[in-house]
Amino acid sequence: HLHACKLSAFRKKESHRLDEEIQSHLNDLMLPNARFVTSFTDSEPSLYGDDHVEFLISMNQGEDPKPLAKTASGGELSRLMLGLKIIFTHLQGISTVIFDEIDTGLSGVSAQAVANKIAEISLSTQVISITHMPQVAARSDHQILLSKKVKEGRTYAEIKELGLDEKIRQVAYLISGGDITQKQLDYATEMVMSHS
């Protein structure tokens, strides 16, 4: 029971720091009204402590924090998970982090905020990001195009590292979602070159 009490006290002390760090990342990720709280309820003492820990969040001003799974929309959840992943990657000393479409459900300013945050992480950790967002793709140091092809009735994945011109064209394709115009190419060039 003594060890469970010590673990509980340590968790409660550290939870304030976690809450503050997550709040900071939420602000950066265009969720200024979000509130993140670590909640503790008593439980039977065990190897895992004598409390039950739950993450609560409120995405809108005036709302009480509720369990994470019942509150966030797709885009909000993507940004929250990005904030959590940043903190835990740092705490655990992880050298490579993979984001599999962490930008799902985002567009415009929110997508740009996520792109900026992923670029910030990449300064200290190798980042592999699977994305369909031009804002994220434009920030990459290396862009790899994954595509599927059917040959003789079988599907094959094809992987190709893109050069600068190909990267610009692919970003333009992500912008257009189909046929690429010169204006989209010009915009893609501006996006890519402004971060090179």
- Per-residue pLDDT of 9-32, as tens digits, reads 888 888 888 888 888 888 777 777
Top mean-pLDDT range of 6-10, 76-80, 149-153, 161-165: 161-165
Residue 178, SS3 per DSSP = coil
| Percentage of the chain lying above the pLDDT 90 cut | 24
Residues across the chain: 196
Contacts of 45 (CB under 8 A, 6+ apart): 1, 4
Residue (of 108, 143, 135, 144) closest to 191 by Cα position: 135
Distance CA 127, CA 118 (A): 8
pTM over 0.85: no
With cut-offs at 50, 70 and 90, classify the pLDDT of residue 159. Answer: very high
Q: Is the distance from CB of 162 to CB of 145 less than 8 angstroms?
A: yes
Identify the bridge partners of residue 161 per DSSP, sorted by sequence position. Answer: 144
- 156 vs 25 pLDDT, higher one: 156
What average pLDDT does range 99-117 have in this prediction? 80
- 77 vs 163 pLDDT, higher one: 163
Distance CA 34, CA 23 (A): 8
The single-letter code of the amino acid at 150 is V
Strands (E), 15-112: 35-46, 49-58, 66-67, 96-100
pLDDT of residue 72: 59
For the chain, report the end-to-end CA distance as a whole number of angstroms: 56
Residue (of 88, 108, 116) closest to 29 by Cα position: 116
With cut-offs at 50, 70 and 90, classify the pLDDT of residue 74. Answer: low
pLDDT of residue 61: 79
Res 182 pLDDT > 90: yes
pLDDT of residue 110: 81
What average pLDDT does range 73-80 have in this prediction? 68
| Helix (H) or strand (E) run with residue 105 in it | none
pLDDT of residue 180: 92
